[in-house]
Structure 1
């Protein structure tokens, strides 16, 4: 692990880290990342995970690759989770295990990427922040393919940056890049924006180099050949299910419940999700300012790497906007390492610059800087206390409370996904409520009705009359908190 050779003199001599110590720190970071992602891996799941189990993971794995697109087409993850479930038995931890392992690998890959564009010390600091990241740990304990996508996104980006900086694309590099590109696309369809953006950057570099009469500095011919190979392999993998995936995409566009578009609803979801990880709204504001400063530092020190990591997010956002796609912030999970690179380098730079004003000895400054950075990493883990103290969504708590409070003849109902999870996963005697007519039919039986609902903000978009009826004719008994944004489960009792 070599110290970066980029011009990082602004760190004021606090960036150097001996190679042996760097490896030790790296191993400690990976070990901590592993512990935090394995700890509580068996905690309660949330509705997306239940959907994955009920709709995908209980199918033969060959179905997953040969035709069935699943609810979200996280195909690579679903196959790995299927194998894990078959090997260890179906449980929350076995299904989440691939996500946890790729989460750990993603932290290691970020360390490698960040140390290439900055220094070893700053790169390890950035990786340490993501190792203790609330959001990244959430996805590492989520039966979805987001950490898989983040890892292959970082690996593909690292290889592409290596190609750009070296001006070479030898056979070994080409094979690795082709593999990383295919897996980036296959772990989730959104991954296609990564090679698309890299192709745009490659063409831009060729144009720029042509104007400066340096046309051979980027190996465009080799790049095109390997990109074509990656595209053909990806199309081959997706060929059996393209029609079904397009149907899913159209359903997303046509269904309000699939998530907010580019509007205030999306902004609220983003703020809620990030504020939980960054000490509330005040902390989020500070992190946003740090990120803005970090972007300036990043562009000045290594502009190519900035565009490599950010352009896929921009292109994805533009495509979603044009299509009118229903969006949740998790669809942009690859932004997580970007946030930590931008915010982390700001903290690293400012702390180093401040120490340079008060500590003249380089050796002392290096030591104090390391201590300060370690304390910052430790403090950044504070939101994890809440994360580990409550489940993502407390379906078991809802079941237990209603079982205790309801009479045997009462109707126990769940609105849409809540009803499906209670009936199909927990095999409880519940009724699924799809529309207001379904709920009125249960009320007309003359029995007392209990209704549970989650994601109320989205439900209000999907079926405002149903939500309004519940709010007007039922009393809220309890709201069960969860770490999922807007994911509290509300339990209502009919006002008789």
Structure 2
């Protein structure tokens, strides 16, 4: 089932270069905005450690391969916010190029240009490209892995499957959940092997060369994680245990994940949310149909990754964060663009005017680009979470007798990263004890939706005895930082 890889002309490369430059500009604008909670934890508990101590134990918060790069860049350029995030920028731009390459393989240069442009403009892609975490790196390696997987299935060569193994190892070393994507590809390969779907004649090369890539990936992953293997199982168990008693139980519901993904992608835009959702479902359906003939394993690979991720997270009782599906965003965009082209062709044929296909497709592209331009601006409306601004305001306005409390989980973070002499309130009893003492009090509340539910009295007092001094907005979900005072 060999498929000729579409040729790339000089004009196509020029278009790609322009898109990459646009992606770089969007991802570097505002790069020095304040770090948010998870970024600070990454810096304080891993990046700031000596090289020899960065892999002393496993942590779900640590993206190992990414953190090594963040440490290197911060040592070269100093402890700057942008330096910690710069690897995410590089891989964020790299994802745009990888999506272009994948889309070109599947549907040609025109689809590749549109797909890459939409990824460059994607709100989520820009947001995570300015995040000192390894999600864009994970998406980059996963997308390359899918390219090599699809090429290797069509024309199994040793070099292609070795490259697949290297990208799989890099993805899983970036974060352990990277294994979900490559397990999904393995299941797709196994189904294709058994049923014949999506492949040509079965040969020894078709079986043994992919297994060679898997062996290379497995060996490299084992070597990379060897120093911390004993702590991995315990950490996963601890995360599952904390999820079981989490006050925000909706985080473990796939329906919440879907709604949250739409909310963060579209925002509070009323009818536009429904329009984007419905239009997206239609486009993806057309996309699945449009890719079936040329690359029948592309759509099943996306579906399988989503299914594998959900099954594993549900089985472990873990929170189903939308970011676990970040690697699928670029792939879904390719599907949507192909679906738009397929739908335009279908409508034109139904109308009996096939010459309208180009115009209808261009109209759909303009609409998608316009929506993306509208939504991506929200990245620059506020920091992800303005902990630095909240700390500065409280310190500048505090009185000598005022007691300052960071409402969990902010306490250790403010103490360790900002050298604050604040106390921490972590539960209902702690809050009651703190407020029972006379005198002025300042409360700095992180993740207010969670904390108002954890400490109901705090929410009641926020409507009564406490004065809201300032609310610092954040683009992170539940990312506001609220400052209350009692005089």
TM-score range, shorter chain: 0.7 to 0.9
Distance 1:466 1:224, change over 3 A: farther
Deviations 1:235-291 (A, max 9, x none): 221122122222221221111476855668664464344334335343332232233
Structure 1 segment 215-226 matched on structure 2, within 5 A: 215-216=202-203, 219-226=206-213
* 2:335 match: 342
* 1:182 match: 169
Which residue, 468, 480, 495 being the options, matches 2:472? 480
CA shift for structure 1 position 384: 2.6
User: Are 2:66 and 1:73 equivalent residues in the alignment?
Assistant: no
CA shift for structure 1 position 372: 6.6
Deviations 1:427-457 (A, max 9, x none): 2332222233333443344221111212233
Give, in whole Å, the separation in 2 of the partners of 1:81 and 1:239.
Answer: 22
Deviations 1:28-55 (A, max 9, x none): 1111011111111111111111111111
Distance 1:473 1:56, change over 3 A: farther
Distance 1:282 1:218, change over 3 A: farther
CA contact (8 A) 1:414 1:451 kept: yes
* Unpaired runs of at least 5, structure 1: 7-15
- Coordinate RMSD, CA, aligned: 3.2
Deviations 1:319-353 (A, max 9, x none): 11111112321122112123312333333444566
* 1:294 match: 283
Distance 1:195 1:180, change over 3 A: same
* 2:84 match: 95
User: Are 2:188 and 1:201 equivalent residues in the alignment?
Assistant: yes
Give, in whole Å, the separation in 2 of the partners of 1:427 and 1:266.
Answer: 39
Residue aligned with 1:493, SS: strand
CA contact (8 A) 1:184 1:192 kept: yes
* 1:11 match: none
* 1:333 match: 326
Which residue, 268, 271, 274 being the options, matches 1:282? 271
| TM-score normalised by L of structure 2 | 0.88
Residue aligned with 1:72, SS: coil
Residue aligned with 1:255, SS: helix
CA contact (8 A) 1:455 1:487 kept: yes
Distance 1:351 1:17, change over 3 A: farther
Deviations 1:186-242 (A, max 9, x none): 111001112211221121111113999943287112212321221122122112212
* 1:436 match: 428
* 1:132 match: 121
Deviations 1:43-98 (A, max 9, x none): 11111111111111111233224x23245231100111111111111111000000
Deviates more, 1:464-473 or 1:74-83: 464-473
Give, in whole Å, the separation in 1 of the partners of 2:364 and 2:200.
Answer: 46
Distance 1:340 1:466, change over 3 A: farther
CA contact (8 A) 1:411 1:448 kept: yes
Residue aligned with 1:215, SS: coil
Give, in whole Å, the separation in 2 of the partners of 1:58 and 1:212.
Answer: 48
Give, in whole Å, the separation in 1 of the partners of 2:108 and 2:67.
Answer: 36
CA contact (8 A) 1:161 1:305 kept: yes
Deviations 1:371-411 (A, max 9, x none): 87356424411223232121111223323433455422111
Give, in whole Å, the separation in 1 of the partners of 2:379 and 2:367.
Answer: 20
Give, in whole Å, the separation in 2 of the partners of 1:211 and 1:33.
Answer: 34
* 1:311 match: 304
* Unpaired runs of at least 5, structure 2: none
Give, in whole Å, the separation in 2 of the partners of 1:269 and 1:476.
Answer: 31
Give, in whole Å, the separation in 1 of the partners of 2:4 and 2:360.
Answer: 23
Give, in whole Å, the separation in 1 of the partners of 2:200 and 2:389.
Answer: 67
Give, in whole Å, the separation in 1 of the partners of 2:8 and 2:160.
Answer: 28
Give, in whole Å, the separation in 2 of the partners of 1:316 and 1:399.
Answer: 37
Deviates more, 1:156-165 or 1:333-342: 333-342
User: Are 2:109 and 1:115 equivalent residues in the alignment?
Assistant: no
Distance 1:467 1:165, change over 3 A: farther
Deviates more, 1:32-41 or 1:16-25: 16-25
Residue aligned with 2:444, SS: strand
Residue aligned with 1:382, SS: helix
Deviations 1:86-119 (A, max 9, x none): 1111111000000110000001001111121223
Residue aligned with 2:203, SS: helix
Give, in whole Å, the separation in 2 of the partners of 1:213 and 1:491.
Answer: 63
Deviations 1:108-142 (A, max 9, x none): 00111112122321122111111011111110000
Give, in whole Å, the separation in 1 of the partners of 2:212 and 2:270.
Answer: 47
CA contact (8 A) 2:148 2:161 kept: no
Residue aligned with 1:83, SS: helix
Give, in whole Å, the separation in 2 of the partners of 1:182 and 1:258.
Answer: 32
Residue aligned with 2:259, SS: helix
